[in-house]
Chain A
Amino acid sequence: MQPAGLAAAGTPRQRKWPSKRRIPVSQPGMADPHQLFDDTSSAQSQGYGAQRGPGSLGYPAAAASPQAAFLADPVSNMAMAYGSSLAAQGKELVDKNIDRFIPVTKLKYYFAVDTLYVGKKLGLLFFPYLHQDWEVQYQQDTPVAPRFDINAPDLYIPAMAFITYVLVAGLALGTQDRFSPDLLGLQASSALAWLTLEVLAILLGLYLVTVNTDLTTIDLVAFLGYKYVGMIGGVLTGLLFGKTGYHLVLGWCCVSIFVFMIRTLRLKILAEAAAEGVPVRGARNQLRMYLTMAVAAAQPLLMYWLTFHLVR
């Protein structure tokens, strides 16, 4: 959505590039303010412009004369062309290989959110008791984007909540005169370490109980990241209203997250039993139930453990 908009917005502006950039090669700061990624050299901008084939028909012709004015001999022309093709190759290589280490396309699904979804999801995290239908809707075998289904997990809220938690922790430490900048890094590192440990423990538990589930690791990270929202609420209330406020709000958020996790994980882990809506007896289902309860019970414990030292 956004790249198309940028390209469309960039096309009419590219025709303005020759008039703006003809002279100042030495002023890389003077660039079009609406472009997100600025090229800082005219040579590179010509190579970059040549990549955006359809939109830049008028550009190379108009830029030919200022380029010729700078680079008279053909050797440096060739070198410039070679350099720009090398840059293009490098960009291609990175784009091709980045998918091996970070699943970018999969991650994009988790960030396809909008304000309405975030608002509803936050409401659901604080008050999950009235929500009836917890199933994720599918669309031809792929889950629907979070924008369209409130039950789908997303990574936007956990990421934002994590960063906000680190900042609020810094704020809380500051009000108690215990702040120092490396403590922020320590808080972030500690919370990340606990998150990693949780994910590994749950993956081990899922492996041992041989659950056939479509719960991916990123899904798990998303679900485990939702507790930061409650933690932020608790610490902020603790800052405003003291320890009683902290305990009240944290207790409420703990129970909410417990219910939320149980209702969400029940559909993922206890698939057959949840489909009928009846608790089925049997060793396997019992183990799965224990696993779900353990995961859900770990959330309030961690919420308390990660915040109690911040509120005095």
Chain B
Amino acid sequence: MAFTLYSLLQAALLCVNAIAVLHEERFLKNIGWGTDQGIGGFGEEPGIKSQLTNLIRSVRTVMRVPLIIVNSIAIVLLLLFG
């Protein structure tokens, strides 16, 4: 049973990196998940798709700088300790 907290941390870092590399113009707009497509006003139900779009946009905005730091640390540590 090798599922440890450390592997969870690694998986989380990789997932956040994956969300961060989704390009707004080249990719998200083409599949209709762009941030200016159909947000809808102050209606009652945001719906899953707009929640997901918002989530992706927020993660990309908020985690941009911390990801740089955490990735640099991870690179250095993995180079040193394998």
Residues in A lying within 8 Å of B, measured CB to CB: 186-187, 189-190, 192-194, 196-197, 207-210, 283-284, 287, 309
Closest Cβ of chain A to B58, distance in Å, is 11
Interface of A, helix, strand, loop or mixed by DSSP = helix
Which residues of the other chain, B, contact A194 by a CB distance below 8 angstroms? 3
How far apart sit A190 and B51, CA to CA, in the bound complex (Å)? 31
**How many angstroms between the C-alpha atoms of A197 and B5 in the bound complex?**
10
Per-residue CB contact flags for chain B residues 4-15 toward chain A (1 = under 8 Å, else 0) read 111110000000
Closest to A183 in B: B1
Are A196 and B48 in touch, CB under 8 angstroms?
no
Query: In the bound complex, how far is the Cα of B58 from the Cα of A175, in angstroms?
Result: 50
Q: Is A186's CB under 8 angstroms from B8's CB?
A: no
Contact between chains at A193 and B48 (CB < 8 Å)? no
B75 interfacial contact with A, CB 8 Å: no
User: Given contacts A209-B48, A210-B45, A210-B46, is CB(A186)–CB(B4) below 8 Å?
Assistant: yes
* Chain B residues whose C-beta falls within 8 Å of the C-beta of A189 in the assembled complex: 4-6
The chain B residues found within 8 Å of chain A, CB to CB, are 1-8, 45-46, 48, 51-52, 55
Q: List 24 A-B contacts (CB under 8 A).
A: A186-B1, A186-B2, A187-B1, A189-B5, A190-B1, A190-B2, A190-B3, A192-B5, A193-B4, A193-B5, A193-B7, A193-B8, A194-B3, A196-B8, A197-B8, A207-B51, A207-B55, A208-B48, A208-B52, A208-B55, A209-B48, A210-B45, A283-B45, A284-B45
Please give, as numbers and ranges, the residues of chain A lying within 8 Å of B55 by CB-CB distance. 207-208
Q: Closest Cβ of chain B: how far from A196's Cβ, in Å?
A: 6
Output the least CB separation between A123 and chain B (Å): 31
